[in-house]
Amino acid sequence: MAEIGISDYSIYIPRYRLSRKTVSAAMGWLGPMALPGEKAVANHDEDSLTMAVAAGTDCLNGTGRAEIDGLYFASTTFPYRERQSAAIIATALDLSPNIRTADFADSLKAGTGAVLSAFDSVKAGGVRNILVCGSDYRLARPGSPQEMVFGDGAAAFLLGSSGVIASLEGSYSASYDFPDYRRSEDDKFVRTAEDRFIREEGYGRFIPEIISGLLKKYKLEAKDVTKVAYPCLNLRQHATIAKRLGLQPEQVQEPLFAAIGEAGVASPLMLLAAMLDEAKPGDKILIVSYGNGAEALLLKVTGEIEKIKNRGRLKKQLAYKRELTSYEKYLAFRDMIPVEVGVGGEVAPTQLPLTWRERKVILALYGSKCQHCGTPQYPPQRVCVNPACGAIDEMEEYRFSDKRGVLFSYTADYVASSIDPPLLFGMVDFDGGGRFVFELTDCDRDMLKVGMPVKMSFRRKYTDEPRGIHGYFWKAIPVVD
């Protein structure tokens, strides 16, 4: 039987960083301890679903969409309580509708759970590849210790049996109804038990237990593992756990705590991606998730890893960042303070039959390409827009979401209703043809130039609050690599 495991991976870190100093300057009077470093925070138009699409898009780079038979999405922060996020992500990624989709929810170890389930699905046969996306953007109450800790991010893995870069060699799980974190149906913020209780009885106990358990199960010793990664609540405790397990410092993956923070479900997955970025063939790597117990996966890196194009993304993404210097802006972005966006910002009722009928146009950025003259066009047309052609009904479907382009013109609109004025938008000329006007995000007014290279990014375009609908669409972002 062929090896089964990870055949590709990616990581997504949102562009904004909030320095923990900024948090303590704003909320220190309430008493949270100022921790070192910064945390990655989602832009105002991002959520766990959009970050999963970003990670998933990168992960699919090179793999044919037709070869994907399933999409599993793990998070604790879904845009909808009822309406499957995995199905939205699968549509945005333009996967076939005839695949398995599932959301893995409610625990910080849902991400490793999804990876294990994908592994088992492939192993059981009948499915070739499953894409697993893990993403989180948990909210902590302003002024709470968790506000210092929580960060946002996503990672994605392709599980399959061909081109395996890291085969799954084993796993070990423990589930306890440990009352550390909880959110009820209506909670916006994570509720927590006492810090010391979580640290000592939770992280301090389950992580060593699960690592020791796995090593014992597979008759290994700590020194047999090349690298281990596990979540971090604070750096001192992270080091203490390593010491307790007899791990040497070079065996322990830097927990990204000072650069990203604790990104919930995504944390162990991002750490796994970080390890794969640096791994060499033959390495044995161990990834641990924490949450209602813990879970550990043991992987063995293969020679295929050297063929992966996406390696080193973590460093690149860490480098492309912008500090969010205003704590108030952070609060506004995350809808933690009501701000005045004006009557013009009110949203008209979303037409659900329209969004269903046009789902590929909206969620997967499908246009059409004239088979007669070859002109790509967005949105899709039945009559060709090329004035020299004008062919009727000679179109084929054409996906723009993965096309790059250049900024043909741009503006910064100061009168548009926006949570982050000025609203940036521009006309994008796609490589290979096609043109449309898109909002621009993850960039600043002064970066905009005619001819600037851009690519597309799936974002939350509007929120139809009275009806509880999130309007997703694509925006243009600068190409940084």
CA angle 306, 57, 261 (to 5 degrees): 80
| DSSP conformational letter for 204 | H
CA neighbor of 298 nearest in space, from 222, 235, 202 = 222
Q: How far is the CB of 49 from other proteins (least distance, A)?
A: 16
Strands 16-19, 181-182: pairing is unpaired
Compare residues 124 and 388 and give the one whose CB is closer to other proteins.
388
Q: How far is the CB of 351 from other proteins (least distance, A)?
A: 6
Q: How far is the CB of 386 from other proteins (least distance, A)?
A: 6
Compare residues 354 and 479 and give the one whose CB is closer to other proteins.
354
Compare residues 335 and 358 and give the one whose CB is closer to other proteins.
358
Q: Kindly compute the dihedral angle of the four CA atoms of residues 451, 51, 158, 98, in this order, to the nearest 10 degrees.
A: -100
In degrees and rounded to multiples of 5, residue 289 shows phi and psi of -110, 150
Q: How far is the CB of 477 from other proteins (least distance, A)?
A: 14
CB 228 within 8 A of CB 250: no
Q: How far is the CB of 425 from other proteins (least distance, A)?
A: 4
Q: What length is written for the chain?
A: 481
Compare residues 33 and 352 and give the one whose CB is closer to other proteins.
352
CA neighbor of 192 nearest in space, from 111, 108, 254 = 108
**Other beta carbons within 10 Å of 282:** 11
Compare residues 228 and 407 and give the one whose CB is closer to other proteins.
407
Compare residues 312 and 345 and give the one whose CB is closer to other proteins.
345
CA neighbor of 13 nearest in space, from 261, 219, 185 = 261
Compare residues 41 and 424 and give the one whose CB is closer to other proteins.
424
Q: How far is the CB of 385 from other proteins (least distance, A)?
A: 5
CA neighbor of 100 nearest in space, from 109, 112, 113, 89 = 89
| DSSP conformational letter for 190 | P
**Other beta carbons within 10 Å of 142:** 18
Q: How far is the CB of 399 from other proteins (least distance, A)?
A: 15
Q: How far is the CB of 330 from other proteins (least distance, A)?
A: 23
Compare residues 143 and 471 and give the one whose CB is closer to other proteins.
471
User: Which residues here bind other proteins, judged by CB under 8 A?
Assistant: 342-346, 348-351, 354-355, 358, 361-362, 375, 377-379, 381, 385-387, 408-418, 422-423, 425-427, 429, 433-439, 445, 450, 461, 471, 473
Q: For residues 2-31, b (16+ Cβ closer than 10 Å) or e, as one string?
A: ebbbbbbbbbbbbbbbbbbebbbebbeeee
Reduced to 3 states, what is the DSSP secondary structure of residue 126? coil
Compare residues 251 and 417 and give the one whose CB is closer to other proteins.
417
Q: What angle, 0 to 180 degrees and rounded to 10, lies between the N-to-C axes of helices 85-92 and 48-60?
A: 40
Q: How far is the CB of 331 from other proteins (least distance, A)?
A: 24
